[in-house]
Amino acid sequence: MPLVRIEIKKQQDPTYAKRIGQLIYAAMRSSIGVPEDDNFQILAEHDEQHFIFDPGYLGIPRSDKLVIIQITLSEGRTVEQKKLLYKTIAESLNAELAVRLEDVFINLVEVKKENWSFGNGVAQYAL
């Protein structure tokens, strides 16, 4: 049920954004129990004028390699599950793609289950 948006600065490697998405999907599967095949992602690369961020907000030094991740998902995860998700994503991006931990920005947007339609004009999760 998650919808993942990944925003990065334009890269020379055309597979970079997709590899980030694969790692995020694996992290969601292992840390918050996302089912197999529940993988919907929007990958966007931006030029310098369209990728704006504060390089030091909250005392965290960010670089041009910043990865902004927004995950919309059904409500119900515990704070501990969310913390594990953040940690798992950041550590896997760091280990596999050398993304600095400081450059992993994650935002979760929780919605009620009836706010999803996966096709056919039907609210598949509505009770």
Task: List the catalytic residues.
Answer: 2
Nearest to 85 by CA among 93, 56, 125: 93
Mark 57-92 as b/e (b = at least 16 C-beta within 10 Å). eeeeebeebbbbbebbbeeebeeeebebbbebbbeb
